[in-house]
Structure 1
Amino acid sequence: MALIDARGIPADQTSVDRLAGEGLDYRVLDLDDAAAVEAFQRALARGFLGAEPTAETLADGLPTVRSRRNIGVYERDAATAPHPVATIDSWVTPMTVPGGEIGLWAISGVTVSGTHRRRGIARALLEGELRAAADAGVAVAGLTASEATIYGRYGFGSAVPVARFTVDTRRAGWDGPAPQGRIEYLDREQLAQELGAVHERSRGARSGQVPGWRARWTGLAGLQSSDTDRDRVRGVRHVDADGVVRGVMVYAVSEKGESFRFALHVRLLVAETPESTAMLWRFALQHDLVDEVTADLRPLDDALPWLVADPRGVTQIVHDHGWLRILDVPAALVGRRYSSPLDVVIRVEDPLGFSDGEWRMRVDGAGRAEVESASGEEADVTLSVSALSSLYAGSVRAASLAGAGRISGSPEAVGALDRALAAFPAPSLDIWY
């Protein structure tokens, strides 16, 4: 699919004007200004409470910075090439949705210095990104959140929940399939390459997934200087009976006390087939000297609890991860497929105005949607843009939101919406962005 390059989109004028009144400059980072780029990187590290970047760390992160549209907020009377007091970055990427892909305005690197709270900076950053995305014709924005209470006020909804697993391997045992194919160790460079390749081949199977990038894979593989656990990182791949690589797992081990027993943390497991997923889980759960296996960002329908002899040896915690924000209701809803026919008028309430209004949505027997304005018509279902955004990927249930008072409508209308929006397999997002 053809996607725009966000780096060519200027700073949002409304945010420029709003922060100018606070004596602050809101501007796109000049990627040709090496000093300004380094200052931006250092501000990012500070904002996420990271260590002071070394020259090697800065070099590791430079390609990622250069690939994105970076916004910094600066004090007007600061010295030449100052550290920004706030940061945000974005790019346009494909996101898997039921039946295909849609362009996503991905947002990351949101920081505001502790010295500049309560000055409207976060609002200017987030609303500026949404206006820039809408003006560019991108229908959906998304992010992964370090804090879950910030983004609802801007119309984002928690849309792609994931599971965190902790396995007591001695209790859980193994009751999955017998070995198929073989497991092979990988060196770190090969591990990074294989992670990226298998992830790209497999991400189209689940709604909510986005592509990774080089620094994401090298980081997971323990190749970046800032990784304090890099010396403990290992990786394996699953090769099927035909000699084709079908899955890759990167993990780190740590000793538990002084008993020569270990915990194994799965950094990422990507696989194209259920068989490959099972074989990689088997490797982890039956690893010598390992009493505990942990893994995060797993799909809610992961087979792991059903692969063990005692499912009580598996603890599963569901938490939010992928957040979405619909900016163009017709484009977003037409951009995915649905699980059952539907004919409903939806009233969307959007305080920022991007998606506000009544919309008639019709879905045919093949799961294709038509959406048109239904201004003035009586709505069958009323919900906020945050609630609609939560429903969009197909993981969050309309019935759940209705039970929480976030959707109003008859049980029949809510039920029809619920059935249509549900996605199979369960949506997932296995990386941070």
Structure 2
Amino acid sequence: MRIRQISGDERTTKMFPLQAYAWLPSPATSDEDEVKHRANAPFFETTTMLVAEADGVAMACAAALPMRQNVRGLVLEMAGISAVTSDPEARRRGVVRQLMERLLRQAREEGAAVSALYPFRPSFYAKFGYVGIPRVRVARFAPAGLGDLLHHELPGSVRRLPGKEAFDEYDALVHRLLPERHGFAVFDAARTGVLRDEPVWIALARVGDEVVGGLRYRIEQHGGDLKASNLFSTGPLGRALLLQFLARHVDQVATIELLVGADELPELWGTDLAMTVTGTVANPVRNAPMVRVLDVPALAGSAAGSGSVTVEIAGDELIGGVWQLGADDGRLTVKPGGTPSVTLTAAGFSALAYGVLDATEVFTRGLGELEPRLDDLFPRLMPYMFADF
């Protein structure tokens, strides 16, 4: 078994058979999926793709998408791990572990400071230093519940456009929000092309010439569902404009379904609004994302609380060692060395950096020793990684 990096031209012949068996109905009854896979090749030109081969036959594969993510106000290079797949004959032999270790090491060498993925089983990736963060919530409600909004004249407008026509302005809005929202993650220009080609409507809310909100959606059928992706806005006015637009579908669709962050409260959008908000996690098909830090010094300058603590991160070749962590005018400082007062795993440190666990939870989850000062340095903060890959 040998591991090598493949080119985009090899993606269909080397990775598709593995992915098709693992993730698609099998055996295949048509060539549609392979044709689609081949057509998407240009969107993976910047992706790092590794395969493990035996006698020239690919037995396992993994890929890293170049992305960027906001971690406590600092936009960092991120490796989005995907396509981790193994042939049944290669499972339980440590092949995927070798692929992951090399892929993460290479991603860090190429500048990635953090990494994220959607796990088929969280406990598998916990061994690689990953920790879970919240899954996006699905808000489901009838448009009639937003009827009060139609009684008010708002200083702005909403225009509905075909997805391809409005995508550049929508994408510009997302990138404008990137440095403002903890956990936000975006693809590079090559991968973004996948989203550009999706058959959707995009509603853009404007105040003057400024885009203040955006929503990608499709309508399944008359009297059926309007299904939207994430509701993005620069503030309450942009959100209100988009909700008012959705309210105007009252006699067209029965239900509206859209995605929101785990810290949002859509049940407060209307007075008599009947709302169901769910965050379903059911592995391997409805999985919540996981994240980890690949480079501790790269976090310097991110938002921090107060105090200082010296930590040892044990058992991890990427971020293992002793680090002096402190806060200087609300920004994290990082220096190597010192005498540690607490030992953490890579997952424990990542949980604190992303704000999803406090010091006590890190201890009770078996991810490190108890050190209350870590709560002062890393206050709880809810990440919203809307990107799905």
Band the TM-score falls in, shorter-chain normalisation: 0.7 to 0.9
> What amino acid does structure 1 have at the position aligned with 2:380?
A
> SS of 1:126's equivalent?
helix
> SS of 2:385's equivalent?
coil
Cα 1:236/1:99, change in 2 over 3 Å: closer
- 2:308 corresponds in structure 1 to 343
Give the alignment partner of residue 386 of structure 1, picking from 312, 335, 347: 347
Aligned residues: 376
Give the alignment partner of residue 50 of structure 2, picking from 71, 90, 93: 71
Note if contact 1:156-1:323 (Cα within 8 Å) is conserved in structure 2: yes
> SS of 1:324's equivalent?
strand
Cα 1:198/1:147, change in 2 over 3 Å: farther
> SS of 1:430's equivalent?
coil
Note if contact 1:193-1:217 (Cα within 8 Å) is conserved in structure 2: no
- 2:335 corresponds in structure 1 to 371
Q: Distance in 1 between matches of 2:39 and 2:23?
A: 17
- 2:386 corresponds in structure 1 to 430
RMSD: 3.0
Note if contact 1:337-1:369 (Cα within 8 Å) is conserved in structure 2: no
> SS of 1:237's equivalent?
strand
- 1:94 corresponds in structure 2 to 68
Is residue 164 of structure 1 aligned with residue 137 of structure 2?
A: yes
Measured after TM superposition, the shift of residue 166 of structure 1 is: 3.3
Give the alignment partner of residue 376 of structure 2, picking from 416, 422, 432: 416
Measured after TM superposition, the shift of residue 29 of structure 1 is: 0.6
Q: After the TM superposition, which of the residue ranges 180-189 and 69-78 deviates more from structure 2?
A: 69-78
**TM-score for the superposition, normalised by structure 1:** 0.76
Is residue 294 of structure 1 aligned with residue 282 of structure 2?
A: no
> SS of 1:191's equivalent?
helix
Q: Distance in 2 between matches of 1:238 and 1:361?
A: 42
Note if contact 1:43-1:86 (Cα within 8 Å) is conserved in structure 2: no
Measured after TM superposition, the shift of residue 132 of structure 1 is: 1.9
> SS of 2:318's equivalent?
coil
Cα 1:272/1:49, change in 2 over 3 Å: same
Measured after TM superposition, the shift of residue 403 of structure 1 is: 5.0
Cα 1:281/1:170, change in 2 over 3 Å: closer
- 1:325 corresponds in structure 2 to 292
> What amino acid does structure 1 have at the position aligned with 2:385?
L
User: What do residues 220-241 of structure 1 show as CA deviations (whole Å, max 9, x unaligned)?
Assistant: 46x35xxxxx4xx33221122x
> What amino acid does structure 1 have at the position aligned with 2:303?
R
Cα 1:195/1:114, change in 2 over 3 Å: farther
**TM-score for the superposition, normalised by structure 2:** 0.84
> What amino acid does structure 1 have at the position aligned with 2:386?
D
- 2:284 corresponds in structure 1 to none
Cα 1:274/1:403, change in 2 over 3 Å: farther
Q: Distance in 2 between matches of 1:54 and 1:137?
A: 33
User: What do residues 165-220 of structure 1 show as CA deviations (whole Å, max 9, x unaligned)?
Assistant: 23232685456694341111102321333332221222221122222345765544
Note if contact 2:136-2:384 (Cα within 8 Å) is conserved in structure 1: no
> What amino acid does structure 1 have at the position aligned with 2:95?
I
Cα 1:44/1:216, change in 2 over 3 Å: farther
Note if contact 2:293-2:350 (Cα within 8 Å) is conserved in structure 1: yes
Is residue 334 of structure 1 aligned with residue 334 of structure 2?
A: no
Give the alignment partner of residue 80 of structure 2, picking from 95, 106, 116: 106
What runs of 5+ residues in structure 2 fail to find an aligned partner? 282-286
User: What do residues 266-317 of structure 1 show as CA deviations (whole Å, max 9, x unaligned)?
Assistant: 1233333332123223433552233322223x22222422212246523232
- 1:16 corresponds in structure 2 to none
Among all aligned residue pairs of Structure 1 and Structure 2, give the percentage whose two residues are the same amino acid.
20
